[in-house]
Amino acid sequence: MKVVLLMTALLFLGACTEFTAVKKAVATKGAEFSDDALVDAEWWVCYAASIGSVKRRYGATVERAETYKDFCHGDGDANVVKPSE
């Protein structure tokens, strides 16, 4: 009986160690996944969204238009979200 209890305790402790390793892996991979998702979302906003959707979302005010331009590195003369004045 003592042997069974000892083996159960050792298995439990081993599982805790593995669980800690799993938590670390999930945290690391989760952070990498979130970073990749953010890069993808930024790319979508700046390059894949239609002109119409960008104008509707960011063209309502001068402030939003400037934010979009700054966010998407719009250094050129083309300003697709210039609000109508």
**Same structural domain, 33 and 57:** no
Please check the confidence at residue 75 and state whether its pLDDT lies above 60. Answer: no
- The confidence score (pLDDT) of residue 81 equals 63
Is the model's pTM score more than 0.75? Answer: no
Please check the confidence at residue 84 and state whether its pLDDT lies above 60. Answer: no
Counted domains in the chain? 2
- The confidence score (pLDDT) of residue 50 equals 92
**d(Cα 34, Cα 28) in Å, to the nearest integer?**
10
- The confidence score (pLDDT) of residue 8 equals 66
**Same structural domain, 34 and 69:** no
Domain span holding position 10: 1-40
**Same structural domain, 5 and 35:** yes
Mean pLDDT, residues 42-67: 89
Angle CA(72)–CA(34)–CA(18) in degrees, nearest 5? 165
**Same structural domain, 28 and 55:** no
